[in-house]
């Protein structure tokens, strides 16, 4: 089995001005593509070659894990953004956010703090934990919620390559852009799934 770079669910310039076409060209076309290429090179001829991506994330370490998890994380991240995103969640998702965080503003604040507090490269996540409630997680480098058997619902890529072209070191501006693009429909589908 050979892993493939997934097509973006929108055009490269569709997220502008919040995330520029140049960022997407590098982030999807070079960084994500590089993880997929290195993953294929690393698993060739090994016991991982016929495993699903999720199984590899669970069972590997080192270079195989790093590239497998980054392939998974980025494939997930693209779906968390939408040119028709932003606004507020509704329905069951909104109720679960209120149950866990009090209100939407408090959730956004807590998520922003977790995201901007990632030291070095990493990710911020909204997850459904093993008890069924919602929680915010930070992960370092390529790590993700699969490792804790939690269901990822939403993520924000906090590697510098996600925002440095558009916002330099201004993580808060990138996070404000993220909320303009957030694809609540995808998150609601994950929660229902
Ligand atoms: Fe990234």
Q: CATH number for the domain including 67?
A: 1.10.287.990
Does any domain span residue 63?
yes
Return mean pLDDT, the chain: 98
Distance 69 CA to ligand 1 centre (A): 11
Q: What is the mean pLDDT of residues 136-151?
A: 98
Does any domain span residue 1?
no
Place of tokens 């779906």: 79
Give the whole-number percent of the chain exceeding pLDDT 70.
99
What is the C-alpha separation between 127 and 147, in angstroms, rounded?
Answer: 12
Give pLDDT tens digits for 37-91.
999 999 999 999 999 999 999 999 999 999 999 999 999 999 999 999 999 999 9
Inform me whether the pLDDT recorded for 1 exceeds 80: no
Distance 30 CA to ligand 1 centre (A): 10
What is the C-alpha separation between 110 and 124, in angstroms, rounded?
Answer: 10
Does any domain span residue 15?
no
Distance 99 CA to ligand 1 centre (A): 30
Shared domain for 151 and 181, answered yes or no, is: yes
Distance 88 CA to ligand 1 centre (A): 25
Inform me whether the pLDDT recorded for 2 exceeds 90: yes
Distance 144 CA to ligand 1 centre (A): 13
Q: 164: domain CATH number?
A: 3.55.40.20
Domain that holds residue 126: 91-192
Report which of 147, 139, 151, 176 is spatially closest to residue 96, judged by C-alpha positions.
151
Distance 157 CA to ligand 1 centre (A): 6
Does any domain span residue 62?
yes
How many domains, in total, are found in the chain? 2
What is the C-alpha separation between 48 and 154, in angstroms, rounded?
Answer: 27
Shared domain for 97 and 67, answered yes or no, is: no
Integer distance in angstroms from the first to the last C-alpha of the chain? 26
Does any domain span residue 113?
yes
Shared domain for 184 and 97, answered yes or no, is: yes
Residue 59, pLDDT score = 98
Distance 136 CA to ligand 1 centre (A): 19
Shared domain for 120 and 178, answered yes or no, is: yes
Residue 127, pLDDT score = 98
């Amino acid at each position: 089995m050979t892993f493939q770079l997934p097509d973006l669910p929108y055009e490269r310039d569709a997220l502008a001005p919040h995330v520029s076409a140049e960022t997407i060209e590098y982030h999807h076309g070079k960084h994500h593509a590089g993880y997929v290429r290195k993953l294929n090179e690393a698993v060739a001829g090994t016991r991982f070659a016929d495993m699903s991506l999720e199984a590899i994330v669970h069972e590997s370490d080192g270079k195989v894990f790093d590239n497998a998890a980054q392939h998974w994380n980025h494939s997930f991240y693209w779906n968390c953004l939408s040119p028709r995103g932003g606004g507020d969640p509704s329905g069951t998702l909104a109720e679960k956010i209120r149950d866990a965080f009090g209100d939407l503003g408090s959730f956004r604040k807590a998520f922003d703090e977790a995201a901007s507090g990632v030291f070095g490269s990493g990710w911020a996540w909204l997850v459904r934990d093993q008890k069924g409630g919602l929680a915010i997680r930070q992960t370092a480098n390529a790590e993700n919620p699969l490792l804790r058997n939690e269901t990822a619902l939403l993520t924000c890529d906090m590697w510098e390559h996600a925002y440095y072209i558009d916002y330099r070191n201004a993580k808060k501006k990138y996070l404000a852009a993220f909320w303009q693009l957030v694809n609540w429909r995808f998150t609601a589908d994950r929660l229902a799934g």
